[in-house]
Chain A
Amino acid sequence: MKRIWQTLTSGMSKFIIVRLLQIILVLYLYMTLVFIILEAQPGDITDIYTANPKITPEAKEAIVKQLGLNKPIYERYLNYLRNFVTGHLGCSFKWGNIRDVPDPVCREQRPTWDLIRERLPRTIVLFLTYTIVSFYIGFFLGKLIAWRRGAIIEYFSTVVGVVLFTVFTPWFALLLVWLFAVNLGVVPIGGFINPDSWTNIRQIGSVDCSIGISCSNIVFNHMLLWLGGLTLFWGIVYLWSRRFPYPWQRNTARWGAVALGLVLAGLFFGGGWLGEIDRVVLARDTKFEFFVWHFEFPAGTIPLFPLALDFVQHMVLPILTLTLISFAGTMLLMRNTMLETMREDYVMAAKAKGLPDHVVRDKHAARNALLPVVTSLIFAIAFSVDGGVFTETIFSWPGMGQLLLLSALEQDYPVAIGSLVFTGIFALVAHVIADILYAFLDPRIRYD
């Protein structure tokens, strides 16, 4: 017991626990703020019925009562909080139920939670992939151009990066759509899946896809699980392999884990090797396209991968756009901090130790230059929500950003509130993860 208490109150665990408590507090403040903003609007949501002559003042009164709008504000506030804690997010005003059976609470309307549960993973995947890709490219280029100052790559990537960084973003996004989707036709114009390819799907695993589109989430969530699971697995193997005495043992363990993960994923998506869940039943012949490759499948059972590729293909353009627009920020920051750390004495010492050039660069200079860059990432996350709204709208990516915009425009209040709060939660969690990552990278923070 004492041991557990000690580990919890020291080092990394303490740091994480404190951060988690902090986000609960911030979340509470954020939700209160959302409530206040909505309350501060003139009128209430029943006003949308006022223009409708068919709705009598009595009927309106009944709706007000039904929605609890006649209650005092503190009671509504407590109700609002209680509903969130207990997971009651209300029913959408606009979205109809898509299931065969009516929802027990919302009947013919779709529950807000259902919408969010469907869309949040899509946003997470898009956002996470783009963050990692753009961050890594910026980090890598920044590191290189600082290390080889005055090389051609420095001028090239600085000019290109700054131009892209300052360009009018929607215009640039449309330009890329025009170039890659319209002119070259290598990627789809937008959207999440190619409905034509999915209409013939009858069953995925044991789930019946009578309405084809709803099945897309099964595949998507499989991809997400695999991605998360593999990342976790590789991370654990990486940390675990550090205990090996020889570098070659470490490398064998790490590359072994990478190979194992890829083989397992290949078996899963390649079809039928890991049980029932990874099989798709096709009703009719169908074909899938992935860039320039065409896959034709006869009716019967097919593996998951063509469906997975369909998502991948739809993610290419949004990710490319976001990456091109934003990598320069990381790159230039990385270049500057790298130039600074390169002057540090420990970098000279590392060189004096006879380490190979790339080790001095990566393990000593870049590793320390990374710290301020991660800090900037933590701040960038807070501002990325609006970017999400814009990107998802331009590329019609059916995620949280699009949902937020649509529900706000259509005055679908339950969904608007729900997506606003969940976008906030998402940003907060991303923030905390970046924070923990930072503490993991910098021992001076961890042990304060």
Chain B
Amino acid sequence: MAPLTTYPVLQVENLTMHYTTRKGAVKAVEDVSFSLDKGEALGLVGESGCGKTSVALTLLRLLPENAQFLGGHVYFFRDGSDEAHARRAVGKPVKILLDGQEHQGRLVEVDRSQLVLDARLNGRTQQIKLGRDDIARLGVDLTALSDEEMRPIRWKGISMIFQAAMNSLNPVYKVGDQIIEAMQTHMPIPIPEARERVAQLFQLVGLDRQLMDRYPHEYSGGMKQRAVIAMALACDPDIIIADEPTTALDVIVQDKILREMRQIQKKLNMSMIYISHDIAVIAEVADKVGVMYAGGLVEFGPSEAIFKSPIHPYTKALMSAFPSIKGEKVKLAALPGEPPDLIKPPSGCRFHPRCPYATEICEREVPKFIEHKPKQYAACWNPLM
């Protein structure tokens, strides 16, 4: 089997999630699909309130009580010889990459040397026996896991830098202890070693090691941000989701931290999802870009391609504002009108009331999310080619 140069770590398919409110369902995530490869940085961009955070929380299964998960799959890939990962997958929908080919099915059995997959191939169900070593990657559908099965995936598999990073440190515990807590949850590491590792992480993110025995209120905003990044790195996760990691900081610190994060990500060959309303931030760090509008993904593809020639009119509009803006709630200069109400979103293409290219069909029918150029997907009836 030829080693793959790139392989996926995450495939999100048709993710849909609504919030129940008194006024009706907030359709915050509608049919979102994307994929993320090993070592790759994906940027999710869109106006404030378009559902970026909601996508992240849905795939980590950290939703608030009023959230309703309505469907979709989140395949999280790990090496198939990872015993714990394979065990977790038994009885669950899985995807397997075998000789560069993707098989979908349900894993029925795992033993020391062999995995058995009930797969649907060419419309027929068949059992495939696979040696451990045959499998480069085994993807488990996270949406099918129980809370307890999900726990080891959190932070060790996918960690997150929260939008309100400043507040994601508990005020009553020392910062170092909070990072050690994350480590000790996932691996049996004695405290002296854990402290040593925290010191290394602090060095990596540019913090003095003495600070690990301080409380969050003794940190400045930038320091907290760095500490939170260190915490996200603590368990060597496969994926880090960084939700507006720098929005609360001033521009100079913002740039510095972004550059450092990018370096760390390259150095450790980690996969990242950057979330920002600021396309300038995304342009700086992302290899791939997903553009969200009103709960849906409207364009997805490699960042050079998208920045060179966007397909979706909304992407184009976003870019016309680039690179001037860094700050909260940006009004798009080129776009008239307000972002839509997610309780009663516009029919058809949700962007049609504001779209300069809208035609009659846009109002009636939802455009399909399809590949318009190689690897460049978009949902638009009148793609800009």
Contacts and interface: CB of A to CB of B under 8 A. Distances in A.
Interface of A: 149, 244-247, 344-346, 348-357, 364, 367-368, 371, 441-444, 447
Given A348-B62, A348-B162, A441 B172 contact: yes
A368 B178 CA distance: 14
Contacts of A364: 170
B172 A246 contact: no
A245 B190 contact: yes
Given A345-B162, A353-B181, A354-B186, 14 more contacts: A244-B191, A344-B167, A348-B168, A349-B170, A351-B62, A351-B154, A352-B62, A352-B160, A353-B154, A353-B185, A354-B154, A355-B181, A443-B172, A444-B215
Interface stretch (B44-52, B127-135, B145-153, B361-369): B145-153
Contacts of B167: 344-346
B277 interface: no
Interface of B: 60, 62, 65, 147, 151-156, 159-160, 162, 164, 167-172, 181-182, 184-186, 190-192, 215, 217-218
Contacts of A352: 60, 62, 154-155, 159-160, 162
Nearest to B158: A352
B163 to A, nearest CB: 8
A443 B169 CA distance: 13
A149 B64 CA distance: 13
A245 B195 CA distance: 10
A185 to B, nearest CB: 47
Contact of A346 (B147, B159, B168): B168
A349 to B, nearest CB: 4
Given A245-B190, A245-B192, A246-B190, A349 B171 contact: no
Contacts of A245: 190-192
Contacts of B164: 345
A76 B192 CA distance: 64
Contacts of B153: 354
A367 B172 CA distance: 8
A46 to B, nearest CB: 58
18 contacts: A245-B191, A344-B167, A345-B164, A346-B167, A349-B160, A349-B170, A352-B62, A353-B182, A353-B185, A354-B156, A354-B182, A355-B151, A367-B172, A368-B171, A371-B172, A442-B172, A443-B171, A443-B217
Nearest to B184: A247
Contacts of B155: 352-354
A245 B62 CA distance: 31
Secondary structure at chain A's binding surface: helix, strand, loop or mixed? helix
A354 B151 contact: yes
A444 B217 contact: yes
A354 B159 CA distance: 9
Contacts of B190: 245-246
A372 to B, nearest CB: 13
Most A CB contacts (10 A, CB to CB) among B152, B172, B218 go to B172
A175 B171 CA distance: 45
Nearest to A244: B191
Contacts of A349: 160, 162, 168-170
Nearest to A243: B191
Contacts of B152: 354
A346 B169 contact: yes
B160 A444 contact: no
Contacts of B182: 353-354
B179 to A, nearest CB: 9
A345 B171 CA distance: 11
A356 B147 CA distance: 9
Contacts of B215: 443-444, 447
A146 to B, nearest CB: 12
A107 to B, nearest CB: 57
Contacts of B65: 149
B151 A356 contact: yes
Contacts of A350: 170
Contacts of A368: 170-172
Most B CB contacts (10 A, CB to CB) among A245, A345, A352, A367 go to A352
B93 to A, nearest CB: 22
Contacts of A351: 62, 154
Nearest to A368: B172
B142 to A, nearest CB: 13
